[in-house]
Structure 1
């Protein structure tokens, strides 16, 4: 069970969750699939890369950065929080990002509230978009109807 954490107090207008690898050497996304309501992204990093999952808020991004000396295989799993029972027994609006590099892992809960109040939805695999090494795989539809892509 996850403990609820409100990680967003006030967000800017532009939002994108970016799965990216930074620097100039080799890093590859080998596979991305939707399975049982989860997006699985797998690949390999070399020693000069960081794996970054990022919500882009213009000049104030929120990042989850995983670094492993020597590189290695990675996996990112993203799933809707309304499918996961929280500590108080309820479900919630948001999504969970799990990053794994070899034997290390991190779990982050993203609460869809405040400026992010809305519904998280994973796209069908046929609707995934890859551009410049960035994979767009989901959206948050805000309560006012505006869609924010998650990449």
Structure 2
């Protein structure tokens, strides 16, 4: 009997269907009331599906890895901030976001930083993506406590 249980070796290239089927078969074998830790998943949809299957804790390089590839996550979309359409876009990375990057910098400025290979650009996208994932988890916890998690998960954009 352990204080918690980690599930590893998933999310390393197998189809998502196989990963989730493995979780469906594995999680019921873990004693009730013990933390369940899944290593390496990270996309918002994967996190929410894993939560619905009984996973409690995650770690992932997903937010930072995507920031290194110029991908910004928002509630409505994910986008590559280096695209030309953002060069003159003077709104935050995500409207209404309260992270440091969104409160202080525009899409146009982050676009410029990344196009001139200034590492601050990558840091700002990382800050935003981490904030996005933290908020997603906060909202998921709130939905669980309100017994509304399935609705929350199903309403989340894919």
**Which bin holds the TM-score, normalised by the shorter protein?**
under 0.3
Q: Whose helix fraction is larger, Structure 1's or Structure 2's?
A: 2
Q: TM-score, normalised by structure 2?
A: 0.21
Q: Whose strand fraction is larger, Structure 1's or Structure 2's?
A: 1
Task: Tell me which structure has the larger Cα radius of gyration.
Answer: 2
User: Which protein, 1 or 2, shows the higher relative CO under an 8 Å CA cutoff with sep ≥ 6?
Assistant: 1
